[in-house]
Amino acid sequence: MPDLFHPPVKRSVEIAGHKTSISLEPLFWDWLRAAAVEQGVPINALVARIDAERIKAATPPGLAGAIRLWLAARALPAGD
């Protein structure tokens, strides 16, 4: 497991043909990578799905925040 309090790491992803940079802590990058593998999609495709859900929100968070929230929601037991 990476250092829990490691600062964010910036990586480039491509969403709908546009490159963007996202800064996430290594733990979130690990969780995002694992979720992409579990769903059988590249990280870019998973980020694009999260982005599509995010922009439908009444007050959309930033993309990095949306990814963190999406990952946190996955970690919650069903019904919470």
Tell me the pLDDT of the chain (80 aa) as tens digits.
557 788 999 999 999 899 999 999 999 999 999 999 999 999 999 999 999 999 999 999 999 999 999 999 998 887 65
pLDDT for the residue 1: 54
57: containing domain: 9-75
pLDDT for the residue 16: 85
Question: In the block, which residue shows the tokens 């800064």?
Answer: 23
Tokens of 50: 């999260």
Number of neighbours of residue 66 by Cβ within 10 angstroms: 19
pLDDT for the residue 24: 97
Give the predicted TM-score (pTM) of the model. 0.88
DSSP 22-72: EEE-HHHHHHHHHHHHHHTS-HHHHHHHHHHHHHTSSSPPPHHHHHHHHHH
31 within some domain: yes
Provide the number of structural domains found in the chain: 1
13 within some domain: yes
2 within some domain: no
